[in-house]
Structure 1
Amino acid sequence: MLTVIDQTLRARLCASPAGDRVIAATLIYQCDDPLAARMSFPASATLDGLEVTWTFARDLLAAGLRMPSGEGDVHVWPCGKRRTMIELSSPEGIALLQLDTEDVQDFLTRSYTAVPPGDELRHIDLDADLAALLADE
């Protein structure tokens, strides 16, 4: 079984200080963290020149393809039939990204092949996670 799924895609960074620009972004899904999806940006796409990775619920990404979704730092919503918007908020500012919906759907389909919706908890090793948490104290 696949343990990591990643998909690099083009994201339009909207309303950046330099105007709209296309950047590379990578969606990542790890079977050992089945409830989460990650979006990683290379150093060349960030203001401080460091690679940045955001983590959010895989369900949030899926729901955002159909309707505005999210609370807090990450919001996802459809923008017409072919685009999906993702807003990432941090103390440093807000990034507004436009992605091709088909690319996001392809990523989700691949993640569902690895861990079907509803089966996520069967892929979590609670004993190992608890032991790791207690070892950190």
Structure 2
Amino acid sequence: MSTVIEAIVEARLVAAAPRMPSIPAALHYDRRDPYAVRMTFPAPATLAGVEVCWTFSRELLSAGLHEPQGEGDVRVRPYGYDRTVLEFHAPEGTAVVHVRSGEIRRFLRAAGELVPVGLEHLQLDLDRGLAELMRDSG
């Protein structure tokens, strides 16, 4: 069984310069980090011209489909009938991205089949994590 779910979604950058109507962004879920989702933007879509990856909680993405969520670097909210807005806040500025809600729902369904919501803790190897912390501290 696969341990990773990845979906390419069409992301529309709002107020992008240079004008770029939409880009293929990747949503990534790995059962080894069961609470997190990563969203990666290709180099041509970023100000620095390098691939950029944001990591945030699966719960934030899911809840943001229904009502505004987030207070930190990543915020998610519904927009209209079938769009979801993701805001990524960094010292360099804020990127505002629209994604079709249906694409996010399909991704979350696949992630939920891999690791059901509420059972994420069963994926964690706490003994190994503790051993790594102890090794690194010595």
Q: TM-score range by the shorter chain?
A: over 0.9
Q: Corresponding residue for 1:13?
A: 13
C-alpha distance in structure 2 between counterparts of 1:43 and 1:136, whole Å: 33
Identical pairs, percent? 47
Secondary structure of 1:44's partner?
helix
Instruction: Report deviation, 1:20.
Output: 5.5
Superposition misfits of 4+ residues, deviation over 4 angstroms: none
Q: Corresponding residue for 1:25?
A: 25
The answer as to whether partners of 1:27 and 1:39 remain within 8 angstroms in 2 is yes
Q: Corresponding residue for 1:98?
A: 98
Instruction: Report deviation, 1:44.
Output: 1.6
C-alpha distance in structure 2 between counterparts of 1:76 and 1:44, whole Å: 23
Ranges in structure 2 where 5+ consecutive residues have no aligned partner: none
Backbone CA RMSD of aligned residues: 1.2
Instruction: Report deviation, 1:10.
Output: 0.7
Instruction: Report deviation, 1:136.
Output: 2.9
TM-score (norm 1): 0.95
The answer as to whether partners of 1:89 and 1:95 remain within 8 angstroms in 2 is yes
The answer as to whether partners of 2:65 and 2:101 remain within 8 angstroms in 1 is yes
Instruction: Report deviation, 1:19.
Output: 4.1
Amino acid at match of 1:65: L
TM-score (norm 2): 0.94
C-alpha distance in structure 2 between counterparts of 1:18 and 1:68, whole Å: 28
